Structure 1
Amino acid sequence: MSLERNAPPDTYDHLPSVPSFTLTSEDVTDGEQMADTFADPSVGGGGKSPQLSWSGFPAETNSFVVTCYDPDAPTHSGFWHWVLVNVPVSVTSLAQGAQPPAGAFAVRNDYGTKEYGGAAPPKGDYPHRYLFTVHAVDVEQLDVTPDVSPAVVGFNLTFHTLARATIRPTYQIA
C-alpha cells in the first residue's frame, strides 16, 4: 500500500475570509522542516511547542486562540495537535514549551491530552504541514469549556475571528 496522496487544501480556505497579521517564530519557519524538538516523543522528538510571537492584529481584538493542526494526516479530519483557548489580549508571545498563560486553557488534542502534541506523521509519508495559527478573537472568552473538542472551538472561532496569522512548517520522517 502506497502512502502517496495529494495534499489537501489549506484548512482555512473554506472558512470566511478574514484579514491577516504577523506571526513569527524563533523556532520554526514557513515551509521548512521543523526540528525534532517539536516532534512527538513517540517518534523520538522532544514534544515541545515552538516559540511564537504575533503583532499587527486588529485593535478590537479581545483575546486569542492558538492552534496547531496537521491537514495532511491520513484521516478524514486532519489531526489537532494543540488548541489553546482564551489567551489574554495582553499575551503576544509564547515561549518554547509554553504552558497556558493565566486565564487560558487547552482543550483535548487528537492524542487525547490537553497540551501540545508534537508532529508524528507516518514514517515514509510525504512532508506534513503543521499550521500554527493565532486567531484574533472579538470576545475576551469563547463560550467553551476545557472539555469541548477542537471542532467545537473551531465552530465558535468561525463567528468570532477578526483576523488570523499562520506559520506552516513541515515535518517528515524518512
Structure 2
Amino acid sequence: MELRVIGMSEGRRIPDKFTCSGKNHSPKIEIHDRNETGYYFIVMNDPDAPSGLFTHWIIYNIPAGIVTLEENIGNKEITEEGYYQGLNDFGELGYGGPCPPRGDGDHRYFIKIYRTDEAVSRKKIDAEHAYEILDKMSPEAEFYALFSRE
C-alpha cells in the first residue's frame, strides 16, 4: 500500500492551511493499493498533546483499492463519496486541524490507515470507539508531519 498526503512532506512542518492557524482544511490523501478487499479506516492523531493522544480526524468505510480523498472534504457525517466521518477530540464531526498550545514545541501528527474486513455499521464513532475497533490491528500505512505554534 502506498499513502501520499498531498501538500505535506513526511517528517516536515505541516503547512498552515491544514491547521487552526490557517484554513483548517483536511489534506488531500491518495491511497494506492493492489489489495482491493475490505475497507479503509483512517485516523489522524497527535501523541504529543498535553492531555495524551488527541484525535484530529476519523474517516472510515472507504472501499479499499485506489482512492483519493480530496482536500477540504468537509465536516459532514457522510461525505459526498459515501465515507463516514467520526467525532474528533474537539467534539466535532470530521477534520480538526493541528492546533497545539502556543509555545509547546513541535507536535507529531500521524495519519494511519487500517483495513477492516467489513464496513463499520456504527455511525458517529468517537476516538474511544475507533480505538476499540482498531485495538488489535496494525496500520497498513502511516505518515507523519510536525506542527507547532509560537
Asked if these proteins are the same fold (TM beyond 0.5), I'd say yes
Distance 2:80 2:114 in 1: 16
> What stretches of structure 1 move > 3 A for 4+ residues in a row?
none
Distance 1:90 1:60 in 2: 4
Contact 1:137 1:163 in 2 (8 A): no
Distance 1:113 1:163 in 2: 24
Shift in Å, 1:164: 1.8
Please name the residue that 1:66 is paired with.
42
SS of the aligned residue for 1:168 comes to strand
Please name the residue that 2:94 is paired with.
115
Alignment partner of 2:63 out of 76, 88, 108: 88
Unaligned segments of structure 1, at least 5 residues: 1-20
Distance 1:136 1:162 in 2: 9
Structure with greater strand share of residues = 2
TM-score by length of structure 2 reads: 0.86
Please name the residue that 2:28 is paired with.
51
Unaligned segments of structure 2, at least 5 residues: none
- What amino acid maps onto 2:111 in structure 1? F
Contact 2:49 2:100 in 1 (8 A): yes
Number of equivalences: 146
Distance 1:95 1:119 in 2: 18
CA RMSD of aligned residues (A): 2.0
SS of the aligned residue for 1:29 comes to coil
Distance 1:36 1:152 in 2: 29
Percentage identity across paired residues of the two chains: 25
Larger Rg computed on CA atoms: 1
Listed one character per residue, the Cα deviations across residues 72-104 of structure 1 (whole Å, up to 9, x for unaligned) are 10013x111000121122561111112435332
Please name the residue that 1:144 is paired with.
122
Query: Does residue 1:169 correspond to 2:145, yes or no?
Result: yes
